[in-house]
Copies of this chain bind each other. A is one copy, B any other.
Amino acid sequence: MSVSRRGLFGLAGAGVAVAGLGAAAGVLATGEPGGQPAGPVSVVPFRGQHQAGIVTPAQDRMHFVAFDVTTKDRAELVALLRAWTAAAERMTAGQEATEGGAVGGHPEAPPADTGEALDLAASALTLTIGFGPTLFDDRFGLAARRPEALIDLPRFPRDDLDPRRGGGDICVQACANDPQVAVHAIRNLARIGFGKVAVRWSQLGFGRTSSTSTSQATPRNLFGFKDGTNNLKAEDPAALAEHVWVTDGPEWMLGGTYLVARRIRMHIEIWDRTSLAEQEDIVGRAKGSGAPLGQRDEFDPVDPNVRGAGGVALVAEDSHVRLAAENLGGAKILRRGYNFTDGSDGFGHLDAGLFFVCFNRDSRTQFVPMQRALSSRDRMMEYLEHTGSGHFACPPGVAEGSFWGERLFG
């Protein structure tokens, strides 16, 4: 089944306006985010208690962007957030950014949609917004509303951050099963924001490395290993309430969450020259099955007490799986990362790795201690280079009649 949701352009090319497709899109809805795995024609509801794109079953592709706000006018920024919300809701329903946007407007005006997604299905597009620490400086009167949890992330051991790949006043994460749909959405938000925001950095992720639903198989990262087996899942609302959704801090963030993005270059050429045994020791899992060392099945629990020849622990203390689990003090994070490749590095290697994205309720007690332990003790760090970083406060879901960030600016 192939649903083209944006219109029938034999007519449109002759100048006939295109009918809105809101009704048709509704038919395709798959229920609340986190409900069903999202096929290519699925529509993920835009409005709800929480933003979509967090516990929504991870789509295959991602385009992430961070904007600098260039206007100094608070009212103009608020107007942009309203316009963005309207466009985002339409695009996630598989429609153009505005009614008849690409070809239905006045021929002497620039089109209000760029058109490259005209023939494509909704593809489970989600758009998730977050606000960075810099938005809370003195430009917009928001300093008093900055959540304490929205810290400037500390410098971690061996960080090698490129300032051109980090920070930003506002981020938008676009996820979809068709990359052109995700890129189209980001590009149209940038177009709508012309003169008010500028693209600071962006990242295309070609393949998901996380499952956020029990209905999804665990995918592999560019080290060839299954990643995030013990990830939080949409089907476990109690765990999400405990680890992901904000219940304290400023009122405007209740029901929201904190997004951490890290662009992690993987030195895959060096990794590829290490032995299978060494790779498995570093990860703490079997490469094929994904099972913890000493276990049979991917989802068997990690057992630090299993010992092999000579009484050596099979899952080493400094293995990635143990360090990640044991340094959260029982806390968990929701991972939602993507593999990337951005050409070559100029030194004969592919510039490839993991665009790590996680959501947590308080990065100070979840992401930060975990990353501190990993960055100082994880043997995998030898093969990694953190080149980009961002921290954003994602407000709760958008209620009917509301817009992105309304409670922050209200």
CB <8 Å contact, A115 and B287: yes
Q: Quick check: which of A73-81, A131-139, A312-320, A337-345 contacts chain B, the rest being far away?
A: A337-345
- Residue pair B199, A116 in contact (C-beta under 8 Å): no
CA distance A109 to B224 in the complex (A): 15
Complex Cα spacing A14 to B291, Å: 10
Instruction: Encode A188-223 as 1/0 by CB contact (under 8 A) with B.
Output: 001100100011111110110000000001011111
How far, in whole Å, are A342 and B109 apart by their CA atoms in the complex?
A: 29
Whether B349 lies near A277 (C-beta < 8 A) is no
B288–A183 contact, CB under 8 A? no
Write out the residue numbers on chain B whose beta carbons fall within 8 Å of the beta carbon of A225: 115
Encode contact with B along A335-365: 1 for CB under 8 Å, 0 otherwise.
Answer: 0000101111010111010000000000000
Q: Identify A296's interface contact among B14, B105, B273, B344, CB under 8 A.
A: B14
**Distance of A47 Cα from B358 Cα, bound (Å):** 44
A235, CB-defined interface residue at 8 Å: no
Chain B residue nearest to A181 in the complex (CB): B207
Partner of A13, one of B217, B224, B289: B289
What is the distance, in angstroms, from A154's C-beta to the closest C-beta of chain B?
A: 25
Contact A275 B108 (CB under 8 A): yes
Select which of B114, B115, B180, B191 is within 8 A of A206 by beta carbon.
Answer: B180
Specify which chain B residues have a CB less than 8 angstroms from the CB of A113 in the assembled complex: 224
Given the complex, which residues of B lie within 8 Å of A217, measured CB to CB? 119
**Chain A 49-105 interface residues, beta-carbon cutoff 8 Å to B:** 61, 63, 65, 68, 70, 102-103, 105
The reply to whether the CB of A12 lies closer than 8 angstroms to some CB of chain B is yes
Contacting residues, chain B, for A327 (C-beta < 8 A): none
Residue on B nearest A206 in the bound complex, by CB: B179
* A288 CA / B115 CA spacing, docked (Å): 8
Q: Contact between A275 and B109 (Cβ–Cβ < 8 Å)? A: yes
The closest CB in chain B to the CB of A227 belongs to B116
User: Which residues does chain B contribute within 8 Å of A68, judged by CB atoms?
Assistant: 348
Report the separation of the CA atoms of residues A117 and B206 in the bound assembly, to the nearest whole angstrom: 13
CB-based contact B350/A111 at 8 Å: no
Residues of B within 8 A of A203 (CB): 343
State which of B10, B70, B165 has its C-beta within 8 Å of the C-beta of A289: B10
- The answer to whether A118 and B220 touch across the interface, beta carbons within 8 angstroms, is yes
Given known contacts A107-B277, A187-B350, A343-B201, A224 and B288 CB-to-CB distance under 8 angstroms: no
Contact of A63 among B12, B200, B279, B341 (CB under 8 A): B341
The yes or no answer to A248 lying at the interface (CB within 8 A) is no
A276 within 8 A of B: yes
Q: Is the pair A199, B344 in contact by a Cβ cutoff of 8 Å?
A: yes
Q: List 21 A-B contacts (CB under 8 A).
A: A10-B289, A65-B344, A102-B224, A102-B287, A103-B288, A107-B276, A107-B280, A110-B275, A114-B222, A115-B287, A116-B222, A116-B339, A119-B217, A119-B220, A180-B207, A191-B269, A194-B269, A199-B344, A200-B344, A202-B350, A204-B342
